[in-house]
Amino acid sequence: MQVTAGAGPSPAAAARRAQVVAATLEVIAEAGYAEASFARIAAHAGLSSTRLISYHFASKEALIGACVEEVVGALGREVGRRLHAETTASGRLRTYITAVVEFSDVHRREMSALLQILLSGAWSTEVGPEPAAAPLEALLRDGQRSGEFRDFDPAVVAAAVQRSVEALPFRLAVQPDLDCAAWARELVELFDRGTRRDPA
């Protein structure tokens, strides 16, 4: 039996979905995407049957999509909240890097699971109307138009920034005591020097 479209899930159903998503992220972070079977997820979540998963998610793809949406949504809300206070392109770039690094530090399992999902090919960062780095690329273009940033290819620099912050969860997996604040400062300095019009 599948949940049908209607007035929306009940609080109990929403709580169960959230429980399954959280368990899935934990299994992927601990054991890898390939090991994230419904049976293993159900056992990890303390569910009596995999039917309690398939009741809410018609397929593994649907479940993984919900996992991606959960992590990306939380990250986007946090980064967006902090960017809102910035009035300059350089400030937004600095805040973007710092916010993503801090989120990755606080939400280590979730970010590790997300990147394992993406690397497995189970989900694409290009799903949707625009690439994942498009907002960052737009930020860089704004900085060029305002005169804060020098001339460069925004797509290349956006990809470099994106890959730099995405590397952190993998580093934390082998170096859990890494100084994430120092990591953020180094990245901010690197990309500040690389983008500003008059490097010191």
Answer yes or no: is 2 within a domain.
Answer: no
Strand, helix or coil at 196? strand
Q: How far apart are CA 33 and CA 150, in angstroms?
A: 41
Length of the chain: 200
149 found inside a domain: yes
Q: Which residues contact 156 (CB under 8 A, 6 or more apart)?
A: none
Give the number of domains in the chain: 1
Domain annotation covers residue 129: yes
Q: Is residue 6 situated within a structural domain?
A: no
Q: For the residues of 135-189, what is the DSSP string, one character each?
A: HHHHHHHHHHHHTSB-S--HHHHHHHHHHHHHTHHHHHHH-TT--HHHHHHHHHH
In a domain, residue 113? The reply is yes
Residue 19 confidence (pLDDT): 94
- Average pLDDT along the chain: 89
Residue numbers of the domain that contains 17: 11-195
Residue type at position 15: A
**68 belongs to a structural domain:** yes
Continuous H helices in 56-153: 60-83, 89-106, 108-120, 134-146
**Residue 119, domain CATH:** 1.10.357.10
In a domain, 4, yes or no: no
Q: What is the pLDDT of residues 98-136, one digit of tens each?
A: 999 999 999 999 999 998 998 888 776 554 445 667 889
pLDDT in tens, 79-90: 999 999 899 999
Residue 1 lies in a domain: no
